[in-house]
Amino acid sequence: MHDEIKLQIKKYYDDWFSINKLYHDWARHHNISQKTLFVLYEIYHTDGPCTQVSICEKTSYQKQTVSQIVNSLEKDGLLFKTKNPKDLRNKILHLTMEGTSYARSLLSELENLEIQAFETMDATDRKKVIKGLHILSKSLEKSFDK
Give me the chain's average pLDDT, please: 96
Answer whether residue 36 shows pLDDT above 90: yes
Fold of 2-145: Arc Repressor Mutant, subunit A (1.10.10)
**Mean pLDDT, residues 31-47 taken together:** 97
Q: 1 falls in which pLDDT band (50, 70, 90)?
A: confident
Q: pTM for this one?
A: 0.91
Task: Write down the pLDDT at residue 146.
Answer: 80
Give the tens place of pLDDT for each residue, 75-86. 999 999 999 888
Give the tens place of pLDDT for each residue, 62-115. 999 999 999 999 999 999 999 988 888 889 999 999 999 999 999 999 999 999
Task: Write down the pLDDT at residue 126.
Answer: 97
Answer whether residue 23 shows pLDDT above 80: yes
Residue ranges of the domains in the chain? Answer: 2-145
Instruction: Give the per-residue SS3 of the chain.
Output: CHHHHHHHHHHHHHHHHHHHHHHHHHHHHCCCCHHHHHHHHHHHHCCCCCEHHHHHHHHCCCHHHHHHHHHHHHHCCCEEEECCCCCCCCCEEEECHHHHHHHHHHHHHHHHHHHHHHHCCCHHHHHHHHHHHHHHHHHHHHHHHC
